[in-house]
A and B are shown apart, each in its own frame.
Chain A
Amino acid sequence: EDKVVQSPLSLVVHEGDTVTLNCSYEVTNFRSLLWYKQEKKAPTFLFMLTSSGIEKKSGRLSSILDKKELSSILNITATQTGDSAIYLCAVERYTGTASKLTFGTGTRLQVTL
């Protein structure tokens, strides 16, 4: 059975702190790992990672995949209150007919002033 585990479950930090969110997985026929940010409504896409060791970066957010360790981290530097959200990790595998995502339970990040 496919499994995606995120840690920590929740986190409270002060504005300006740096945070690291973790995602580990056990999936057959791995294709990619994706990070999403979910505020009040639907998840929005952040990153997709397919190659081990290559960092993806977007502003203050960055992510890297370690295929050997079956894990990924999402870093947020100089956090702002607008970063408060649930961060979801999902792992994509191919079923033979289509790509399917398995999501972790998410990390709830709260950034306080």
Chain B
Amino acid sequence: DVKVTQSSRYLVKRTGEKVFLECVQDMDHENMFWYRQDPGLGLRLIYFSYDVKMKEKGDIPEGYSVSREKKERFSLILESASTNQTSMYLCASSLGDRDYEQYFGPGTRLTVT
């Protein structure tokens, strides 16, 4: 079974703090993704990575950065957290270009106060 894990289920941070969300997959997948999910807006893609050290902006990259130093790990960084970044963050991975099925992690509910 593919397993995608995220470092925290719940996180509370203060405005202005630097926040790291970690995601690890154990199936040697090429692609990894970070989404945020908000009521009424659905899942929106923040960034994705198709190879180690390669990244591409998604639909809402502003205020975020990512890091992929190893194939199995994809980090989402909030350089200076703001209250409008309070959300559920979901990480996903997929095998490669011809495998479209994305496997999701359990999510991290981030609250910025």
User: Which residue numbers of A lie inside 8 Å of B, CB to CB?
Assistant: 2, 4, 31-32, 34, 41-45, 48, 88, 90, 92, 94-95, 97-106
A24–B19 Cα distance when bound, in Å, is 36
Answer whether residue B100 sits at the interface, using C-beta atoms and an 8 A cutoff: yes
- By a CB distance below 8 angstroms, the chain B residues around A101 are 33, 45, 100, 102
User: Which residue numbers of B lie inside 8 Å of A, CB to CB?
Assistant: 4, 31, 33, 35, 40-45, 48, 50, 54, 56, 58-59, 90, 94, 97, 100-107
CB <8 Å contact, B100 and A92: yes
Contact residue among B56, B90, B100 (Cβ-Cβ distance under 8 Å from A95): B56
CB <8 Å contact, A103 and B42: yes
A99-B97 in contact given A41-B107, A42-B104, A45-B102 (Cβ < 8 Å): yes
A2–B59 Cα distance when bound, in Å, is 9
CB <8 Å contact, B101 and A98: no
A-B pairs, 8 with minimum CB distance: A42-B104, A98-B50, A105-B42, A103-B43, A103-B42, A41-B106, A45-B101, A92-B100
Q: A45-B101, A105-B40 are in contact. List 8 more A-B contacts (CB 8 A).
A: A2-B59, A41-B106, A41-B107, A99-B97, A100-B58, A101-B45, A103-B43, A103-B44
- By a CB distance below 8 angstroms, the chain B residues around A99 are 31, 94, 97, 100
Q: Supply 27 A–B pairs (Cβ within 8 Å), ascending by A.
A: A2-B59, A32-B100, A34-B100, A34-B101, A41-B106, A42-B90, A42-B105, A42-B107, A43-B43, A43-B90, A43-B104, A45-B101, A45-B102, A45-B103, A88-B43, A90-B43, A97-B54, A98-B31, A98-B56, A99-B31, A99-B97, A100-B48, A100-B56, A100-B58, A102-B45, A102-B59, A106-B42
